[in-house]
Structure 1
């Protein structure tokens, strides 16, 4: 479990949900050791949550995590077959780690436990548990997109991967589109039957495949925005801006996030609406990730080159167009930064949900809120229509939306914000977790595994 002061949206939402129910958090420790998954288990208890973590060997890390998960599955699931690397050794490592992790969890399970598996690293985890005789109800939740069948079919072994997913009783996705893509694959590629209300039958198993949009603790995050640390960050930015306005983006460095496209859209804003020169800046917070993957290092170099060129073209003595911060901030600091920003750019080329969009809304001042500019390809767009929805591939469209956001009257900003804020409060992390677990309790029957 990560330090939730700096953890990503996925970990924070899971921590918030698990602390309410209590239970066991089992997974990778984040460490690499010679013993790997055969070594001792690291056990800690915080409040009602027991954390059980095991290491990986360097081979496991290279083949399972850096290899198959992030060089094959991640790009395919984000519709980037052109960037995928398919290597049988990586795939074997992926299966090996799932098997070993399942074997370590198996003795810890009690007959009445509900099991909830998360994300693309562990697609076959449920099938491994079933092969070991586990009959408990098991749910799976995918935090990133699930592509259309014709895209997923490009992944070698895609059919086997989806068959393994049929070992779960409930399979959850961020959006209706993702859930529909999964059901279509089961029907068209495996010969399954869609039963309605999210259920599919294949290989003698009935699986519930539905959308459960993940939420945040919106009211809790709103409180973060008025903590002393957040206030310091808000005040510091407002002093630096001295009446100017800031647009903010917060994304890991990743080709799915559309960061180069975002920088070009901001450049187009300065070209097409010159009144923003000297008065509007873009702050892009971009923590590095997966530096061992070449594509990520290339994106960082591209971003540094773009920001340098745009700043060289437009900067003045007292104004810099783009500030690129390749580092992480605590959640409280981010809340303060969001609060000081007139607009937020959330423009991924493809994203499962994107909780930055919800955090930005939660952090705003009710009396003077900012405006969210949101990609139509972020899962959040399904439930946030009051944002300005854009095509991130069109710099003109994004620039136009930014100009609309900057010029939007206060009454309209308040109305849009109020509707967004009420919805993210109503659809918070607890509601998300309860929806999945309620369906698992009612649908999970520990059926036999699929061959």
Structure 2
């Protein structure tokens, strides 16, 4: 393999071109247009910060790699190296037509009643993602950056992350990410797979902040992810999430207004509308676009404002798409029925209110219509972004700009604030807004257009691409610093060798989340017979000195571990029982200090169903593991700040946020101090410390350099290593207790 290739590898469902009659023809789609503009301009545009020297595009195609390489092409088409992926007919049908178009597409666009939840389709979706991952692996070179696009490949980032731990992987979703209530309609295992699949990327990009919020909520509720700012953390790592509203090559649209072909098209428009105002829309045939609803709104406009009859033309262009599918054919017939009815009701010999075109428009035709339109009526029922709105703005003449009417359900509406926004389901609002737009003074139009075109030009496709890729590089660096090293065979073998040769060993173990999984009822989180037996074997070795350092109270630890020759440290170090000695209290003050904190916690317990207060001898703990995961986290932060605000002597008490808890305890008590006290400053040749919680960070912070600190689960940590869950901890301890066995994770 080559070294330091510094290539950008783009992965999307379609390649940018296909072979037709021996020549390359551009495929349709906003991503193709965006990346083609980016590729052509990246070497001479000052906005481009990318250092990539070559773009490799991987996508599904019926063309062979030889046909693509040998096809006739112009200079603009020579900016990609294309790698076609070929799917068999069954996989293609169930993966693309099935799961992608009949399940993900309708569900993510809030048409849940149209989604078909087919296990066969999902199985083929998984197989297709695995197959494509295997093909990509063959072509990856050191130094490559990977940019995966859209809902066809939600599983792909994780699959490739498992193959390349240090590969820069970005993922961008071009459609909406739905709310939790919609996304949860997917079967449990599917939705968890899809979320974890996306989170294999260093950076996940969405069009809008709303989609980020929806994704974050789903990750918190469905896979117990932790969200801190723009970072989402799971057991498998951390990913950054950001909004990058996709742009267009705005300057190219502005320049093309003056091309001879566009000028000819504009003359044809002038001749056709005969001094009438022009309302324009163009959409792909799809139920998300609200095409029938738009026609009904136009009909309502002429009914409500008859003075505009014979003074305005609505040019509706529908681009053919999937019209071999019965539901799409039915949609097309419905649209044409509306057009016929409206034209039949109010047209005259020399005027049709609706000019309907069902065909693909050439670029010059589109720009001519954009530049000549008085109003662009863009009213999808749901749209991830909508680049037509931006193309309209970029193509408008500054001396006589038109007005953009935009659905509030389009992602673009969050960015193009000067557009006149409407609810696509409100015919009266659309009719009224059309009247406002058509009658708007030219000075007001110019003010709105100037602000819109500033945004379209300042955050164009080049800014979008370079912004994403720059953030990807930074995110990949930060992700690596957040990542602890998973314990694998090599590290465990080194640990086991150190364990065997050491004459004195210290083993420090947390309890909840370390030796046992968490339970909704803490009293039911008890050690298994296997855990007890392994600890007994470790304790029987005279070289071992073992301690359980837990937040549990002393009666619980005594009940379950009192028969073993090990140290017990309760309530994070507030009391301790050394081997063959009695319990002693490190903190022996009265409980009066708890009163103001208890009152505050009680108030929050009433506000948060599922939460409760635990009164330990030396601390107060507010538990919210059984509460709503999002509301619980929000209240925990609020409670923490409230408790800190009443601390009269902050050095005497600590407020700590742990694993689904908020705890108040004396400031001198922590696991690090307890470990140093119990183990005589931790001078053992071999030291192993394992914990899962924020409170265990105090322990990790005092470990000497040669110690093995292990964090259980996700999150930032001072520990050197990481294990997934308590079952891994049990396997590790079993391996140390019986080193002739095999270490398997």
What TM-score results when the alignment is normalised by the length of structure 1?
A: 0.94
Cα distance per residue 1:189-234 (max 9 Å; x no partner): 21111111x1111123111111100001111111122211211111
1-side partners of 2:37 and 2:130: how far apart? 28
Tell me the residue number matched to 1:121: 152
Matched, 1:254 2:286: yes
2-side partners of 1:97 and 1:399: how far apart? 46
Contact 1:115/1:137, CA 8 A, preserved across alignment? yes
Tell me the residue number matched to 1:338: 370
Q: 1:441 to 1:43 in 2, by over 3 A?
A: farther
Moved more, 127-136 or 217-226: 127-136
- Over aligned residue pairs, what C-alpha RMSD do you find? 2.0
Cα distance per residue 1:348-405 (max 9 Å; x no partner): 1110110000000111111001110000011110111111110001011111111111
Q: 1:172 to 1:265 in 2, by over 3 A?
A: same
Tell me the residue number matched to 1:36: none
Secondary structure at 1:290's aligned position in 2? coil
Tell me the residue number matched to 2:34: 13
Cα distance per residue 1:15-52 (max 9 Å; x no partner): 222342431011112x28xxxxxx76765494442121
Deviation at residue 181 of structure 1 after TM alignment: 0.7
Contact 1:182/1:209, CA 8 A, preserved across alignment? no
More helix by share: 1
Matched, 1:139 2:164: no
2-side partners of 1:204 and 1:330: how far apart? 47
Choose the corresponding residue for 1:165, options 184, 189, 198.
198
Deviation at residue 134 of structure 1 after TM alignment: 5.5
Moved more, 371-380 or 86-95: 86-95
Choose the corresponding residue for 2:421, options 386, 389, 394.
389
Matches for 1:172-191 after TM superposition, within 5 Å: 172-191=205-224
Secondary structure at 1:131's aligned position in 2? helix
Tell me the residue number matched to 1:402: 434
Aligned residues: 443
1-side partners of 2:254 and 2:209: how far apart? 28
2-side partners of 1:228 and 1:53: how far apart? 36
Choose the corresponding residue for 2:84, options 29, 34, 53.
53
1-side partners of 2:80 and 2:236: how far apart? 35
2-side partners of 1:14 and 1:108: how far apart? 20
Contact 1:114/1:136, CA 8 A, preserved across alignment? yes
Contact 1:390/1:398, CA 8 A, preserved across alignment? yes
Contact 2:192/2:223, CA 8 A, preserved across alignment? yes
Secondary structure at 1:145's aligned position in 2? coil
Tell me the residue number matched to 1:103: 134
2-side partners of 1:240 and 1:40: how far apart? 45
Matched, 1:94 2:147: no
Deviation at residue 90 of structure 1 after TM alignment: 1.1
Q: Which has the higher contact order (CA 8 A, sep 6+)?
A: 1
2-side partners of 1:173 and 1:162: how far apart? 14
Structure 2 unaligned runs (5+)?
Answer: 1-15, 18-23, 43-51, 487-713, 715-723, 725-745
Matched, 1:83 2:104: no
Contact 1:287/1:326, CA 8 A, preserved across alignment? yes
Deviation at residue 56 of structure 1 after TM alignment: 2.4
Matched, 1:298 2:330: yes
Moved more, 326-335 or 289-298: 289-298
2-side partners of 1:313 and 1:77: how far apart? 37
2-side partners of 1:27 and 1:301: how far apart? 33
Deviation at residue 62 of structure 1 after TM alignment: 0.9
Q: 1:42 to 1:174 in 2, by over 3 A?
A: farther
Contact 2:377/2:404, CA 8 A, preserved across alignment? yes
1-side partners of 2:144 and 2:183: how far apart? 32
Deviation at residue 172 of structure 1 after TM alignment: 0.4
2-side partners of 1:134 and 1:107: how far apart? 16
Deviation at residue 57 of structure 1 after TM alignment: 2.1
Matched, 1:436 2:468: yes
Structure of larger gyration radius: 2
Matched, 1:213 2:271: no
Tell me the residue number matched to 2:601: none
What TM-score results when the alignment is normalised by the length of structure 2?
A: 0.58
Deviation at residue 305 of structure 1 after TM alignment: 0.8
Contact 2:318/2:357, CA 8 A, preserved across alignment? yes
2-side partners of 1:43 and 1:103: how far apart? 21
Secondary structure at 1:50's aligned position in 2? strand
Deviation at residue 54 of structure 1 after TM alignment: 2.4
Cα distance per residue 1:237-261 (max 9 Å; x no partner): 1111111111110100101111111
2-side partners of 1:6 and 1:165: how far apart? 26
Tell me the residue number matched to 2:95: 64
Contact 1:153/1:159, CA 8 A, preserved across alignment? no
Tell me the residue number matched to 1:195: 228
Matched, 1:282 2:303: no
Tell me the residue number matched to 1:35: none
Contact 1:42/1:54, CA 8 A, preserved across alignment? no
Deviation at residue 8 of structure 1 after TM alignment: 2.6
Q: 1:206 to 1:192 in 2, by over 3 A?
A: same
2-side partners of 1:391 and 1:413: how far apart? 21
Q: 1:181 to 1:213 in 2, by over 3 A?
A: same
